[in-house]
Structure 1
Amino acid sequence: MKQILMFVMFASLLCWVMFAPIYKHVLLVRQAVLQKEVDYMLEIGANGTHGYVDAAMIAESRIRFTEWGFTPSELTYTVTTTNGVNGMNPSAPVLRGNGIQLEISYPFGNAFRIDRLVGMTLPPENGRLSAVGLKMSEYVP
């Protein structure tokens, strides 16, 4: 009986050791992709001809995320500015010297389920990966 118990414990530990780094790697890649997209969108949105991040840019971003295997409906975009104006309004762009902040978040999903096998505490069900960036607008009317 002890041998069977040791086999089961060893097999579950072996599975966790083999597959946990793969899931962590997926999270690292997702985090990097989120941050890359935030940086790209801010570079475009805060340049001298825009001064905003609008709904059309966000729709294009969602399409780019599908290429990486993200579910577009689970992405959350938050655009704020340092002076409190609407950073998503193309008719009233954020003027030069004011910051545009963009946050994109995505749920963890089932990436930590395998950690339960070895008794690790899982993050909350509503936990999300997020990437944040702030860039000063260069828009001059």
Structure 2
Amino acid sequence: MKQILIFVLFSALLCWLMFSPIYKHVLIVRQAVLQQEVDYLLEVGASGSYGYISDTMQEQSRQRMARFGMQPDEILFELTTTSGVDASNPSGPVPRGTGISLTMSYPYENLFEIDRLIGLTPPLPSERMRAFGMKMSEYVP
């Protein structure tokens, strides 16, 4: 009986040691993709040509991130400005000197379920990884 118990515990530990790093790399890549996309959208949206991050730009961003295996419907965007104006309105661009901040989030999607084998509690299904950025608008009417 001891041998069976030792085998089960050793098997669980071995599985965790083999597969845990893979899931951690997936997490790191997803976080990097989110941050890169935030930086890109802010660079384009706060430029002198635009002054906004429209719904079309957000949809294009979702499609780019879908190429990395993310579910486009699960990606959330939160746009705010330092003056309180709408940063997603193409007909009313954010004027120069006003900060545009963008937060994108994506769920963890059970990436940490294998950690249960060693007694760690994974994040709740409602928890999300986030990437944040802020840039001053350069748009001059």
TM-score range, shorter chain: over 0.9
- Compute the displacement of 1:136 (Å): 0.4
- Compute the displacement of 1:110 (Å): 1.2
Q: How many residues align?
A: 141
- Compute the displacement of 1:76 (Å): 0.4
The aligned counterpart of 1:78 is 78
Query: TM-score scaled to structure 1, two decimals?
Result: 0.98
Cα RMSD, aligned residues only: 0.6
- Compute the displacement of 1:86 (Å): 0.4
Distance in structure 2 (CA, Å) of the matches to 1:18 and 1:63? 32
Unaligned runs of 5+ in 1: none
The aligned counterpart of 1:9 is 9
Residue identity (%): 59
**Once the two structures are superposed, what CA deviation does each residue of 1:62-89 show, in whole Å capped at 9, x if it has no partner?**
1101111110000001111011000011
The aligned counterpart of 2:104 is 104
The aligned counterpart of 1:28 is 28
- Compute the displacement of 1:125 (Å): 1.6
What is the identity, as a one-letter code, of the residue corresponding to 1:114? Answer: I
Query: TM-score scaled to structure 2, two decimals?
Result: 0.98
Distance in structure 1 (CA, Å) of the matches to 2:62 and 2:124? 25
- Compute the displacement of 1:122 (Å): 1.5
- Compute the displacement of 1:45 (Å): 0.1
Distance in structure 2 (CA, Å) of the matches to 1:121 and 1:60? 35
